[in-house]
Amino acid sequence: MKRPNRTVSIFTLSALDVLAMSTGVFVLLVVLLMPFYRKTFDANAELARTRVSASETLARIQSLEDDATLYRGEAEGAEKETSRLNALASTLEDQARANRSRMAALEQAPQKEPGPDPKNVVVEAIDLVFVIDTTSSMTPALKELSVSMRSIVRILERLVPSVRIGVAAYTDSDTGLPPVTVLPMMSTNRDLPRILDFVDHLEAARVGSRTIEEDVHLGLAAAFAMRLRPTARQAIVLIGDAAAHKVFQEETFIRARNFVLTNKNRTVSTLFVTTPSSLMNGQRDRRYFQRLADAGNGSFNDHAGSMTESILLSVLVN
What is the DSSP track for 38-93? HHHHHHHHHHHHHHHHHHHHHHHHHHHHHHHHHHHHHHHHHHHHHHHHHHHHHHHH
Which of the four pLDDT bands, split at 50, 70 and 90, describes residue 250?
Answer: very high
Burial class (CB in 10 A: 0-12, 13-18, 19+), 59: exposed
- pLDDT value, residue 179: 85
In Å, how far are 81, 146, 156, 216, 310 from 260, measured between CA atoms?
Answer: 43, 28, 22, 18, 21
Residues 223 and 237: their CA atoms lie apart, in Å, by 9
Instruction: Choose the weakest-confidence range: 5-19, 124-138, 206-220.
Output: 5-19
Given a cut of 70, is residue 225 above it in pLDDT? yes
Residues 234 and 85: their CA atoms lie apart, in Å, by 38
Contact 312, 158 (CB under 8 A): no
Contact 301, 272 (CB under 8 A): yes
Mean pLDDT of the chain: 78
Q: Which residues contact 88 (CB under 8 A, 6 or more apart)?
A: 276, 279
Q: Which residues contact 254 (CB under 8 A, 6 or more apart)?
A: 295
- pLDDT value, residue 112: 47
> The whole model's pTM is what?
0.62
- pLDDT value, residue 37: 56
297 phi, psi to nearest 5 deg: 55, 30
Given a cut of 90, is residue 268 above it in pLDDT? yes
Grouping H, G, I as helix, E, B as strand and the rest as coil, residue 104 is helix
Which of the four pLDDT bands, split at 50, 70 and 90, describes residue 113?
Answer: very low
303 phi, psi to nearest 5 deg: -85, 95
Q: When comparing pLDDT for 316 and 40, which is higher?
A: 316
Given a cut of 60, is residue 118 above it in pLDDT? no
* 101, containing H or E segment: helix 15-108
Given a cut of 60, is residue 117 above it in pLDDT? no
Given a cut of 60, is residue 205 above it in pLDDT? yes
Which residues pair with residue 58 across a beta bridge? none
